[in-house]
Structure formats: C-alpha cells, structure tokens
Amino acid sequence: MRAKVPEFYVSEHPELERLTPILRSYLHARVTIYYREAQYQDTGHITYFDGTWVELTKVNGERILTPQSGIRIIKMLEPSAIESDAMMLLRPAEPDSSAKKIP
C-alpha cells in the first residue's frame, strides 16, 4: 500500500500540485536512490523534489541535491509517515468541561 500525501499538505506546498499522485507518495518516504553510475547509491528521506531536482536527507543530516536526470531508480523502503501522523489526535478538539481545573 502506498502512502498518500494529504491534500492539506499539498495546498501548503503549491509546487506539489503539478506532480502526479505517485510522485507525491515518495515525498518524506525513506528510499534508496540508485544513480545512473551503477556503483553509486544513497539511502535517506526525500525532503524535496520538483521537475528538475530531488533532495535526499540522510540519517546523519547530510543533504544531497541531485538532478532527476542523474537518477536511475528510486526504491521506496518505508512509506511516508505524514498521513498516519496527520490522522493522530494529540489533544482533544474541544476542552472537556468535566475535567478538573488546576489553579
């Protein structure tokens, strides 16, 4: 099952509107990028991409900006957690009037 980037996230980032849904599913996913030079690859999270560039952020914080033309394959290892995190309620939507107030 592919992760889907929620529409509210797309509306906050207008550059994503022109990308197909399959490409959107790779944003913030953990991936391995295999470059056109077969011996090179990197693993991390895709933190940005547009029609030309892909930014990969590795676990150690290193950021790699690669032109899409230099990429042979992008293999998804873990889908984006945005959708599941976005659906998690961290606090009540409305205050609970029956709760005891602390002075």
Mean pLDDT per 10-residue run, the chain (103 residues)? 45 58 81 89 90 89 91 89 58 65 64
pLDDT at 87: 56
| pLDDT for res 51 | 74
- Structural domain including 39 reads 7-79
pLDDT for the residue 10: 45
Residue 93's pLDDT is: 63
- For the chain, the domain total comes to 1
**Has residue 84 been placed in a domain?**
no
Residue 92 lies in a domain: no
| Contact call for residues 27 and 52 (beta carbons, < 8 A) | no
- Whether 63 is in a domain gets the answer yes
Please indicate, yes or no, if residue 22 is contained in any of the structural domains: yes
> Do 26 and 4 form a contact (C-beta atoms < 8 A)?
no
CATH number (domain holding residue 23): 2.30.30.100
Does residue 90 belong to any structural domain of this protein? no
Residue 2 forms part of a structural domain: no
pLDDT at residue number 1: 39
